[in-house]
């Protein structure tokens, strides 16, 4: 995913610290919230970007 200036943004979630399921849930939540926030600023991400 890229910010409004085209810079790639990412975040990682430790499986070792959080367990596989929690790490996946945290990553999905972060991605969905990031896309929502970027769209509020006019980024134009669609539902297909998060699936």
pLDDT band at residue 50, thresholds of 50, 70 and 90?
A: low
Return the ∠ at Cα 21 (arms to 15 and 24), rounded to 5°: 75
> Would the pLDDT of 6 be above 90?
no
Give the Å distances, CA to CA, from 40 to 13, 20, 23: 25, 30, 26
pLDDT band at residue 1, thresholds of 50, 70 and 90?
A: confident
- The model's pLDDT over 12-29, given as tens digits with 9 standing for 90+, comes to 999 999 999 999 999 999
Does pTM surpass 0.85? no
User: How far is Cα 47 from Cα 12, in angstroms, rounded to an integer?
Assistant: 21
DSSP state letters, the chain: -B-TTS-B------HHHH-HHHHHHHHHHHHHHHHHHHHHTT----GGGG-
Domain boundaries, the chain: 15-41
């Amino acid at each position: 995913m890229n910010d409004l200036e085209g810079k790639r943004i990412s975040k990682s979630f430790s499986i070792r610290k959080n367990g596989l399921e929690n790490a996946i849930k945290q990553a999905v939540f972060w991605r969905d919230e990031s896309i929502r926030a970027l769209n509020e600023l006019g980024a134009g991400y669609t539902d297909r970007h998060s699936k």
